[in-house]
Amino acid sequence: MTAAHSTHYRTCSLCEAMCGLTLTVEGDRVTSVRGDPDDPFSRGYLCPKGPAIAALHEDPDRLRRPLRRTGSTWTTIPWDEALDEAAHRIHTLQTTHGPHALAVYLGNPTVHNMGSMLYGPSFLRALGTRHRYSATSVDQLPQMLAAYLMYGHQLLMPVPDVDHTSHMVIIGGNPLVSNGSIMSAPDMKRRLAAIRSRGGKIVVIDPRRTETADVADEHVFVRPGSDALLLAAMAHVLFADKRVNLREHTNLIRNTGALEHAVADFTPERVAQPTGIPATTIRRMTHELAAADTGVLYGRVGISMHPFGAICHWLVNAINILTGALDRRGGAMFSRPAFDIVGSPPPLGLGRGSFGRWRSKVRGLPEFGGELPVATLAEDIAARGDDPIRGLLTIAGNPVLSTPNGPRLDAALAGLDFMVSIDFYLNETTRHAHLILPPSGPLEHGHFDVALHAVAVRNTVKYSPPVFAKGDHQRHDHEILVGIERRLHTHRGASLPTRLEVKLREQLGPERILALGLRAGPWSFGGGLRQGLRGLSWAQVTAAPHGIDLGPLEPCLPSRLPKRRGSGAPHIDLAPAALLADVARLAAELDPGPREPFVLIGRRQLRSNNSWMHNVAKLMTGKPRCTLLMHPTDATALGVADGADVRVSSRVGSLVVPIEIDDGIMAGVVSLPHGFGHDRGGTALRVATAHAGVSINDLTDEQRIDTLSGVAAFSGVPVAVEAI
Ligand SMILES: Nc1nc2c(c(=O)[nH]1)N[C@H]1C(S)=C(S)[C@@H](COP(=O)(O)OP(=O)(O)OC[C@H]3O[C@@H](n4cnc5c(=O)[nH]c(N)nc54)[C@H](O)[C@@H]3O)O[C@H]1N2
Ligand SMILES: Nc1nc2c(c(=O)[nH]1)N[C@H]1C(S)=C(S)[C@@H](COP(=O)(O)OP(=O)(O)OC[C@H]3O[C@@H](n4cnc5c(=O)[nH]c(N)nc54)[C@H](O)[C@@H]3O)O[C@H]1N2
Ligand code: SF4
Ligand SMILES: [Mo]
Over 70: is that where the pLDDT of 3 sits? no
Residues 153-211 pLDDT 10s: 999 999 999 999 999 999 999 999 999 999 999 999 999 999 999 999 999 999 999 99
Pick the CATH number of 595-723 from 2.40.40.20, 3.30.70.1520, 3.30.379.10, 3.30.950.10: 2.40.40.20
Query: What whole-number distance in Å separates Cα of residue 19 and Cα of residue 41?
Result: 7
Residues 292-313 pLDDT 10s: 999 999 999 999 999 999 999 9
**CATH number for the domain formed by residue range(s) 159-333+563-587:** 3.40.228.10
Over 80: is that where the pLDDT of 98 sits? yes
292: CA distance to ligand 4 center in Å? 30
**Which 3 state secondary structure label does DSSP give 648?**
strand
Q: What is the 3-state secondary structure (H, E, C) of 279-317?
A: HHHHHHHHHHHHHCCCEEEEECHHHCCCCCHHHHHHHHH
Over 80: is that where the pLDDT of 488 sits? yes
Residues with Cβ within 8 Å of 197's Cβ and at least 6 positions away in sequence, in order, are: none
Sequential DSSP letters for 219-281: EE---TT-HHHHHHHHHHHHHHTT----GGGGGGEE-HHHHHHHTTT--HHHHHHHHT--HHH
Query: What whole-number distance in Å separates Cα of residue 298 and Cα of residue 305?
Result: 15
Query: 5-58 and 159-333+563-587 share one CATH topology?
Result: no
Provide φ and ψ at 320, rounded to 5°. Answer: -65, -35
DSSP β-ladder status, 201-205 and 218-220: parallel
Residue pair 145/310 in contact by the 8 Å Cβ criterion: yes
- Distances 277 to 167, 224, 315, 503, 553 between C-alpha atoms, Å: 20, 12, 18, 60, 34
673: CA distance to ligand 2 center in Å? 14
Share of the chain above pLDDT 70, in %: 99
Q: Is the CB of 332 under 6 A from ligand 3?
A: no
- Distances 532 to 340, 535, 553 between C-alpha atoms, Å: 19, 5, 20
pTM over 0.95: yes
Q: Is the CB of 20 under 6 A from ligand 3?
A: no
CATH class of 67-140+344-518: alpha beta
- Distances 34 to 20, 25, 45 between C-alpha atoms, Å: 9, 12, 8
576: CA distance to ligand 3 center in Å? 36
Mean pLDDT of the 102-121 span: 98
Q: What is the 3-state secondary structure (H, E, C) of 522-584?
A: CCECCCCHHHCCCECCHHHHHCCCCCEEEEECCCCCCCCCCCCCCCCCCCEECCCHHHHCCHH
139: CA distance to ligand 4 center in Å? 5
Over 50: is that where the pLDDT of 239 sits? yes
Q: Is the CB of 17 under 6 A from ligand 3?
A: yes
Q: Is the CB of 174 under 6 A from ligand 1?
A: yes
Residues 573-628 pLDDT 10s: 999 999 999 999 999 999 988 888 899 999 999 999 999 999 999 999 999 999 99
Query: What whole-number distance in Å separates Cα of residue 271 and Cα of residue 280?
Result: 11
Over 90: is that where the pLDDT of 566 sits? no
Query: What whole-number distance in Å separates Cα of residue 268 and Cα of residue 189?
Result: 32
Q: Distance between terminal CA atoms of the chain?
A: 60
Q: Is the CB of 610 under 6 A from ligand 1?
A: yes
Pocket of ligand 3, candidates 33, 42, 49: which has the most ligand atoms within 8 Å of its Cβ, to mutate?
49
Q: Is the CB of 186 under 6 A from ligand 1?
A: no
Query: What is the pLDDT, as a whole number, of residue 649?
Result: 98
The residues facing 7 across adjacent strands are 24
Provide φ and ψ at 163, rounded to 5°. Answer: -75, -10
Query: What's the one-letter identity of residue 697?
Result: N
- For residue 14, give the ligand nearest its CA: 3
Q: Is the CB of 613 under 6 A from ligand 1?
A: no
Query: What whole-number distance in Å separates Cα of residue 525 and Cα of residue 541?
Result: 15
Query: What is the pLDDT, as a whole number, of residue 1?
Result: 46
Q: Is the CB of 226 under 6 A from ligand 1?
A: no
**Which 3 state secondary structure label does DSSP give 184?**
strand
Sequential DSSP letters for 361-403: TTT-PEEETTB--GGGHHHHHHH-SSS---EEEEES--HHHHS
Q: Is the CB of 50 under 6 A from ligand 1?
A: no
State the DSSP code for 484: H
Residues with Cβ within 8 Å of 581's Cβ and at least 6 positions away in sequence, in order, are: none
649: CA distance to ligand 2 center in Å? 24
Query: What is the pLDDT, as a whole number, of residue 596?
Result: 83
Q: What is the mean pLDDT of the chain?
A: 96
Residue pair 434/444 in contact by the 8 Å Cβ criterion: no
Residue pair 628/670 in contact by the 8 Å Cβ criterion: yes
Residue pair 391/93 in contact by the 8 Å Cβ criterion: yes
| Helix ranges, 59-210 (H) | 79-97, 114-127, 141-151, 175-178, 188-197
- CB-CB neighbours of 470 under 10 Å: 17
Q: Is the CB of 300 under 6 A from ligand 1?
A: yes
Q: Is the CB of 12 under 6 A from ligand 3?
A: yes
Measured by CA distance, the residue closest to atom 31 of ligand 1 is 302
Query: What whole-number distance in Å separates Cα of residue 289 and Cα of residue 319?
Result: 9
Q: Is the CB of 52 under 6 A from ligand 1?
A: no
Pocket of ligand 1, candidates 176, 301, 704: which has the most ligand atoms within 8 Å of its Cβ, to mutate?
301
Ligand 1 atom with the smallest distance to the CA of 714 is 32
Which stretch of 37-51, 100-114, 271-285, 565-579 has the lowest confidence by average pLDDT?
Answer: 565-579
Domain ranges for the chain: 5-58, 67-140+344-518, 159-333+563-587, 595-723
Residues 523-532 pLDDT 10s: 998 777 666 7
240: CA distance to ligand 4 center in Å? 36
Pocket of ligand 3, candidates 11, 14, 22: which has the most ligand atoms within 8 Å of its Cβ, to mutate?
14
Q: Is the CB of 112 under 6 A from ligand 3?
A: no
Mean pLDDT of the 1-11 span: 84
Q: Is the CB of 674 under 6 A from ligand 1?
A: no
Q: Is the CB of 210 under 6 A from ligand 1?
A: yes
Residue pair 67/211 in contact by the 8 Å Cβ criterion: no
Residues 360-410 pLDDT 10s: 999 999 999 999 999 999 999 999 888 899 999 999 999 999 999 999 999
The residues facing 22 across adjacent strands are 9, 34
Query: What is the pLDDT, as a whole number, of residue 668?
Result: 97
Query: What is the pLDDT, as a whole number, of residue 533?
Result: 66
Query: What is the pLDDT, as a whole number, of residue 632?
Result: 98
106: CA distance to ligand 2 center in Å? 9
Query: What is the pLDDT, as a whole number, of residue 135?
Result: 98
Mean pLDDT of the 551-569 span: 91
Pick the CATH number of 5-58 from 2.20.25.90, 1.10.645.10, 1.10.1270.20, 1.10.40.60: 2.20.25.90
Q: Which of 626, 582, 619 is nearest to 602 (CA)?
A: 626
Measured by CA distance, the residue closest to atom 18 of ligand 1 is 173
Query: What is the pLDDT, as a whole number, of residue 346?
Result: 83
| 635, containing H or E segment | helix 632-638
